[in-house]
Structure 1
Amino acid sequence: MSALVPATAMVAPLLTGWSATTWWLHRRLHQARLDPLSGLPTRARFKKGVDRLLRRRVPVLLVVIDLDGFKALNDTHGHLAGDAAITATGSRLNRWAAAHAERWVVARLGGDEFAAALTIPHAEDLPGVLSRLHENLCAAVPFEGRTVALGASVGAVWSPHWPLAERSRLLRGADEAMYAVKRTGGGWRIAHSDHTAVASVNGRRPGRPGTQMMGGTR
């Protein structure tokens, strides 16, 4: 028995070192999949998350968000204000999704564009859910002891409206709805048809051409 004590004492530091290294590697991998500014998953993780939700065969609401006035905010108040807006948007989007669904995935797609997918079982809940999202996103952003204005355009699709819906088609539809409402000054809009105006690349709209859809605006 006494011979085992020195052996255990020698192995224990090695195990501790391996555990620390494994933890560090897992942490680095986790951070690499997150946007450092917003703290949200990146586009690749978002796509995988949407696919997992769709495989559950439950109604999924997918939204694409573009901030309004973001360039003007950067030009007027500086890039630190823009960073504050991105950080605030990420936090608001995550809280909104968590408050309205049991399962969800949110992401920063790049620049001032965000996306979310969440399980929403009833169509009658959509207007209220999207209105609250838009209201949250348009709240003034705290910055250096004051607040700066921010707006948002939200395009959405709900999977039961889109037979045999796939992630790329949902993204394209939400993206077109977002652009359509952005041209009217911002707000939110739902695409009720899977007919899209243009071809896409990986679910994204090249050049952001739009289409007319039903919905609500500010």
Structure 2
Amino acid sequence: MNDLLTIVSAAGPLAGGWGIHGLWMRRRLSAARRDPLSGLWTRAPSERRAARVLAHHQHVVVVLVDLDGFKALNDTFGHAAGDAVIRATAASLNDALTSRPGAVAARLGGDEFTAVVPLPDPFSLPWLLRGLHGALTAPFRHGGRDLTVGASIGAALSSDLTPEPRQAGPQTLPVLLRLADEAMYAAKRAGGGWNYPAVTEQRFATAAGRRAGRPGTHAPHHKEPA
């Protein structure tokens, strides 16, 4: 009995050490999946989470955001201001999606961001996009001055492609990202705002390639009214 107690006592600190090491490793792995500047998910882990959201919700919107005027602000006020813009954009995304359980936000790189958001119904989409645009373009304080950037937002809705979540396949997310990307560039060409074109079967069949401008990829623009 005494021998057993001795072994258990000796193993205690070792087990505790492995527990701390495991916690440290989990934190390191989680940090590696996060963008170091914004704190948002990076592309690969965000896409894995997005696929799970698509598989469990009927209405899921994929949003792509590209900041307008970011390079000019960065050139005028310096890289520290540019970094502040990225952090402020991430904070605005997180704040806007706080009330949306299951939402996934990520930084794709540079001044491009994405969000995958489950919706109770398609009719709430304009309110979401309006709120996102307002949050992303609100002034923020840096270096004793108020700074602002614009935002072009494109969106694509999963239920326009697959009426039931169980029908979402491995290509659903790439297709929605492409359509949201095209919608975002349509918004950018029109001067910013948000754009959600209804996806028709014909448009879905002809939407090919990244960025708008190819035949079959043009969409009506829905810019926030002045």
- Give the TM-score of the pair, scaled to structure 2: 0.87
Cα distance in 1 for residues equivalent to 2:3 and 2:189: 78
Of 197, 212, 215, the match for 2:219: 212
Distance change (3 Å), C-alpha of 1:212 and 1:107 = same
Distance change (3 Å), C-alpha of 1:57 and 1:148 = closer
Cα distance in 2 for residues equivalent to 1:125 and 1:16: 49
Displacement after TM superposition at 1:103 (Å): 1.5
Cα distance in 2 for residues equivalent to 1:13 and 1:24: 16
2:34·2:40 contact (CA, 8 Å) conserved in 1? yes
Corresponding position of 1:5: 5
Displacement after TM superposition at 1:24 (Å): 1.2
Corresponding position of 1:124: 123
Corresponding position of 2:151: 152
Displacement after TM superposition at 1:57 (Å): 4.0
Displacement after TM superposition at 1:95 (Å): 1.7
Displacement after TM superposition at 1:29 (Å): 0.7
Displacement after TM superposition at 1:32 (Å): 0.5
Displacement after TM superposition at 1:216 (Å): 2.3
Structure 1, unmatched stretches of 5+, are none
1:199 aligns with 2:215: no
Structure 2, unmatched stretches of 5+, are none
Corresponding position of 2:89: 89
1:134 aligns with 2:133: yes
- Give the TM-score of the pair, scaled to structure 1: 0.90
1:155·1:174 contact (CA, 8 Å) conserved in 2? yes
Q: Secondary structure at the match of 1:3?
A: helix
For 2:9, the aligned partner's letter is A
- Number of equivalenced pairs: 211
Q: Secondary structure at the match of 1:40?
A: coil
Cα distance in 1 for residues equivalent to 2:176 and 2:144: 40
1:181·1:217 contact (CA, 8 Å) conserved in 2? no
1:62 aligns with 2:62: yes
Q: Secondary structure at the match of 2:41?
A: coil
Cα distance in 2 for residues equivalent to 1:44 and 1:193: 26
Corresponding position of 2:104: 105
For 1:25, the aligned partner's letter is M
Runs of 4+ in structure 1 deviating by more than 4 angstroms, as ranges, are none
Corresponding position of 1:39: 39
Of 182, 186, 192, the match for 1:176: 182
For 2:74, the aligned partner's letter is N
- % same residue: 45
2:179·2:207 contact (CA, 8 Å) conserved in 1? no
Displacement after TM superposition at 1:10 (Å): 1.1
Cα distance in 2 for residues equivalent to 1:160 and 1:9: 58
For structure 1, which segment, 68-77 or 164-173, has the greater mean C-alpha deviation from structure 2 after superposition? 164-173
Displacement after TM superposition at 1:162 (Å): 2.2
Cα distance in 1 for residues equivalent to 2:105 and 2:46: 7
Distance change (3 Å), C-alpha of 1:57 and 1:149 = closer
For 1:96, the aligned partner's letter is A
1:192·1:214 contact (CA, 8 Å) conserved in 2? no
1:61·1:157 contact (CA, 8 Å) conserved in 2? yes
For structure 1, which segment, 90-99 or 177-186, has the greater mean C-alpha deviation from structure 2 after superposition? 90-99
| Deviations 1:173-209 (CA, angstroms, capped at 9, x unpaired) | 1000000000111100102115266533xxxx1xx33
For structure 1, which segment, 159-168 or 65-74, has the greater mean C-alpha deviation from structure 2 after superposition? 159-168
